[in-house]
Structure 1
Amino acid sequence: MTRTAFVFPGQGSQRVGMGRHLVERWPDLVDRYYRPADDLLGLPLSRLCWEGPEACLQDTPVTQPAVFLTSVVTLDVLGRHGVRPDVVAGHSLGEYAALVCAGALDWQDALALVRLRGELMATVNDRAPGSMAAVIGLAPSTLEGICADIAAATGLAVDVANDNDPAQLVVSGRTEAVTEVMRQARLAGALRVVDLNVPVSFHSALMDGIAADFAEALDETAFRAPSVPVLSAATAGPVTTAAEAAAVLRRQLTGRVRWTGTVRNLTAAGVDRFVEVGPGRVLGGLCRRIAPEARVRTTDDARRLDQALGAVTAAVV
């Protein structure tokens, strides 16, 4: 029996025009989601999603609510066609949409949290300039050792931030330390090392400075126990209570994204189909590499959305 996981993307999946294919076919989505989102944030988020400019869409306080909102609207469309997940998970920012899908969080509450998260993250580089880099082809233990040695030698924060697939890791921290990790990773035999063009050192100890402010916002938000099974990429384990839902959002601010372990645990639980719900196709690619035997569908444009709907609804029937 087929078991379907909805997986929700994070920052990096944004593009100008995202979500436009949805409102062109279902115009009521504008009044249902986009106008309320614009009003809630005091920001022309809908126009930025559909028209850009790209420079604004790349700004973290805009990027995060834009990606989140596109995922929630896509989720609505899937629901209209009777497509429901057996389990959900999200990559970093995507955990907010996963919790909305699971009924643990109202979408407007999640949108406000995501906007605050982006705003707080954007302030970190002003105090402690950081960067991120992707490392391809090194074992996690090797890269962890390099990070630990450099952090000890320099006193600068740097660590593995993302375990994206069996070959791809991401490091995050102070810029000077990340640069040295890149150099030593090449010497250690990494197949490829890429300096990532991101404005914030996500999932690093540098985020400690905003953790208290964000925890306060989480404490003021209403969470519920999930009504659909959830696996958190912060732990690669299940989220079963309202308290756990809030806790993983707090933990992931500074903690590692354990996507490889999350997908492996999903497949171990019988998931054999992944539907990436939202903009981009990055997460679908990671799922294919981690679980090559699974079927993967994306929803980034009209053609792919139709293919996903056709494949999933045919299987249900």
Structure 2
Amino acid sequence: MKAYIFPGQGAQFTGMGLDLYENSPLAQKYFEKANSILGFSITDIMFEGTAEQLKETKVTQPAIFLHSVILAKVLGDSFQPEMVAGHSLGELSALVANGVLSFEDGLTLVSKRALAMQKACEMAPSTMAAVLGLEDHIVEEACAEIEGVVVAANYNCPGQLVISGEFSAVEKACKVLLEKGAKRALLLPVGGAFHSPMMEPAREELAAAIEATTFCEPTCPVYQNVPAEAVTNPAEIKKNLILQLTAPVRWTQSIQAMISDGATEFIEVGPGKVLQGLMRKIDRSVVAIGASLDA
């Protein structure tokens, strides 16, 4: 079975999507539509912007979404997913790809999500850190014992867990985890504590926008970050998408569930190769490749 997976924040690079724009009239049409929906020329920043400009949450999230979704559209009939999943922001790309959301509604929600998260980040100093080389339960137990807000946020692959929360609590957790044998515990260059209770104001704001948006029946199951299992009910998909902002991304568990449900080939749709790298650490026995227009 073919599973299509969609990357999240961190996969962006200058020049992303330019090849699509130059080689496909269909892609061009979608990019121009995106500029109009967003009210600014995101294509200028994607194609020619600096790394700094691309790192702004309000730009990064729509840029990655657009690269992923437009690539899926351009693949045409060769794009036949039997299951989909997206890492964090990538979940919205996955929901457009499997017919739950229209392109326009997906992009509008991504933009609102980015702005709401940006706002929440500005309310209190918060951050994230990658912890390498420890079992998940050791990281979870250490976080639970630290004063302040610090939680497990991204279960990326075995031995790689990202923690998230208040700046001082994350710093303290890094020290404790290094003492417990972590190979590394390093702060990430992010705007704030995504997938933690610090995102509660953003979750409330986004919930209203999600509730007001039409979610259709999917063409195939989506393995959502929160339950890490196949979901096909639109009301259930909505609920999980709202919870996702303050809940952890259970990526390892989602991929394992897809494999046990029959996925044999994983195709990453979007910029970069981050998810292909994680796939090799989760299960080397399955094929993981990037989507290509030449395929």
Give the drift of 1:270.
1.3
Give the drift of 1:244.
1.2
Whether the 8 Å contact between 1:41 and 1:112 is mirrored in structure 2 is yes
TM-score (norm 1): 0.91
5 Å-filtered alignment, 1:88-237, equals 88-150=84-146, 154=147, 156-237=148-229
| Equivalent position of 2:39 in the other structure | 42
| Equivalent position of 1:267 in the other structure | 259
| Equivalent position of 1:69 in the other structure | 66
Which one-letter code corresponds to 2:20 in the other structure? L
Aligned positions, number: 295
Which one-letter code corresponds to 2:9 in the other structure? Q
- Structure 1 residues 223-249: Cα deviation after superposition (integer angstroms, max 9, x where no partner): 112121211122111211110121111
TM-score (norm 2): 0.97
Following the alignment from structure 2 to structure 1, what is the Cα–Cα distance between the partners of residues 16 and 209? 28
Following the alignment from structure 1 to structure 2, what is the Cα–Cα distance between the partners of residues 128 and 83? 42
Whether the 8 Å contact between 1:78 and 1:84 is mirrored in structure 2 is no
Structure 2: gaps (5+ residues): none
Which one-letter code corresponds to 2:126 in the other structure? G
Find the residue that maps to 2:164 and give its secondary structure: strand
| Equivalent position of 1:6 in the other structure | 4
Aligned pair 1:256/2:266, yes or no? no
Give the drift of 1:79.
2.1
- Structure 1 residues 103-140: Cα deviation after superposition (integer angstroms, max 9, x where no partner): 11111101111111111111123221101000011111
Whether the 8 Å contact between 2:22 and 2:28 is mirrored in structure 1 is no
Give the drift of 1:102.
1.1
Taking only the aligned residue pairs, the percentage that are identical comes to 40
Aligned to 1:30, which of 22, 28, 31? 28
| Equivalent position of 1:314 in the other structure | none
Find the residue that maps to 1:15 and give its secondary structure: coil
| Equivalent position of 2:13 in the other structure | 15
| Equivalent position of 1:287 in the other structure | 279
Whether the 8 Å contact between 2:207 and 2:242 is mirrored in structure 1 is yes
Whether the 8 Å contact between 1:274 and 1:297 is mirrored in structure 2 is yes
Following the alignment from structure 1 to structure 2, what is the Cα–Cα distance between the partners of residues 83 and 35? 22
Which one-letter code corresponds to 2:89 in the other structure? L
Give the drift of 1:85.
1.3
Which one-letter code corresponds to 2:149 in the other structure? A
Find the residue that maps to 1:270 and give its secondary structure: coil
